[in-house]
Amino acid sequence: MLNIRAVAPEPRAQLIPGQSTRPVLTRLALLAAANPLVAESLMHDSVDAAAMHPHYAFTLDARDRATLDAIRARANTVGEFLSDLADIVDGAA
């Protein structure tokens, strides 16, 4: 018989050096990089596509929505979209 104990959810961790200050965009960028269909829908569809993902729910604040709108306005390809999103997440832009 397996002895499995439930583990209490980990409290929200404090940011550590090198960690993104935009955690929702970080998760979204990882999902978009892993699944080109998600990246494509984010690039061409409304930002609500992020909140409607069937497996991962994202709550985008006004700043995150504005950031994605700005990235979408200047990106011509999915690669450019992902690159710009990665720059924002990394704090390079």
Domain boundaries, the chain: 23-90
Residue 2 has pLDDT above 50, yes or no: no
Whole-number Å distance between alpha carbons of 22 and 4: 34
| Residue indicated by tokens 């499995």 | 4
pLDDT at residue number 79: 92
pLDDT at residue number 7: 46
pLDDT at residue number 71: 92
Using CB atoms within 10 A of its CB, is residue 74 exposed (0-12), middle (13-18) or buried (19+)? Answer: exposed
pLDDT at residue number 80: 93
pLDDT at residue number 15: 46
DSSP letter for each residue of 25-44: HHHHHHHHHH-HHHHHHHHH
Contact 67, 77 (CB under 8 A): no
pLDDT at residue number 4: 46
The string of pLDDT tens digits covering residues 25-74 is: 888 888 888 888 888 888 887 566 655 666 666 777 888 888 988 999 99
pTM of the model: 0.69
Tokens of 55: 């497996």
pLDDT at residue number 83: 92
